[in-house]
């Protein structure tokens, strides 16, 4: 579904990403882990079109993504749940969800989507008329996920969904994501610093350090690797 080959990108002459190659198959849950400054968020911004690459290629469902204007990429089925949630604080929960449904498929599937979002994330139904800026961090993260789901995505990209959350709240977010994926079969690409939880949930993982993929493999392979165990799992 998503093919990234030799991708280089950054914000100045010195790239943040250096020759990154990643594959995500339809229906997979893929995790990208690594320390702060590794380039994980830059990778997502490049896929979404916020950052322009200096080299390499990205294809999505056989389409050259770099030839598609950034505003049109969501219409292909890519939903980006950004780092820090970035909900619209002065809009209600329902209005935020409606903003997510601005894609062609999101408008078409709105009724079915909103019913499933409320089933998966019932706090959003309870607080549908509440202003997003008055919600807790965990509730805002659920709203950001719901807003992404409202677009009827083929690929849901989640950038650090546990950031700034209490461990129990982050655990709940991961549980919800696993359940959403189990019920829907939605393809998910996750960037996360909580390495143990990310790898436990994922079919395949990549370790990104200093803009390079230094390791990749399935859950068992990465968790058994001494480098991952020492650097990220505290073992």
Query: In 70-89, which positions are buried (b, 16+ CB within 10 angstroms) versus exposed (e)?
Result: eeebbebbbbbbbbebebee
pLDDT of residue 87: 95
Q: Model pTM greater than 0.85?
A: yes
- 1-77+154-235: in CATH 3.30.300.30: no
| CA distances (Å), origin 172, targets 40, 76, 162, 169 | 23, 29, 10, 5
- Residue range(s) of every CATH 3.40.50.300 domain in the chain: 1-77+154-235
Q: What is the pLDDT along the chain (235 residues), one digit of tens a residue?
A: 999 999 999 998 788 999 999 999 999 999 998 888 889 999 999 999 999 999 999 999 999 999 999 999 999 999 999 988 899 999 999 999 999 999 999 999 999 999 999 999 999 999 999 999 999 999 999 999 999 999 999 999 999 998 889 999 999 999 999 999 999 999 999 998 888 788 888 899 999 999 999 989 988 888 778 777 776 665 4
pLDDT of residue 146: 97
pLDDT of residue 235: 46
């Amino acid at each position: 579904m998503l093919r990234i080959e030799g991708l280089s990108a950054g914000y100045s002459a010195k790239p943040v990403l250096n020759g990154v190659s990643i594959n995500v198959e339809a229906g997979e849950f893929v995790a990208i882990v690594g320390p702060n400054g590794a380039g994980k968020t830059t990778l997502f911004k490049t896929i979404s079109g916020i950052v322009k690459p200096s080299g390499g290629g990205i294809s999505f469902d056989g389409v050259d993504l770099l030839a598609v204007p950034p505003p049109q990429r969501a219409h292909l089925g890519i939903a980006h749940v950004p780092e820090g949630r970035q909900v619209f604080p002065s809009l209600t929960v329902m209005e935020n969800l409606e903003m997510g449904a601005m894609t062609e498929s999101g408008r078409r599937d709105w009724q079915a989507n909103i019913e499933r979002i409320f089933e998966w994330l019932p706090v959003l139904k309870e607080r549908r008329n509440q202003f997003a800026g008055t919600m807790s961090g965990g509730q805002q993260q659920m709203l950001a996920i719901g807003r992404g789901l409202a677009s009827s995505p083929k690929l849901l990209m989640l950038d650090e969904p546990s950031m700034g959350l209490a461990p129990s709240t982050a655990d709940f977010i991961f549980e919800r994501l696993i359940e959403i994926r189990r019920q829907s079969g939605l393809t998910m690409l996750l960037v996360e610093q909580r390495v143990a939880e990310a790898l436990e949930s994922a079919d395949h993982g990549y370790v990104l350090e200093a803009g390079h993929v230094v390791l990749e493999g399935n859950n068992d392979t990465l968790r058994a690797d001494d480098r991952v165990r020492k650097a990220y799992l505290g073992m």
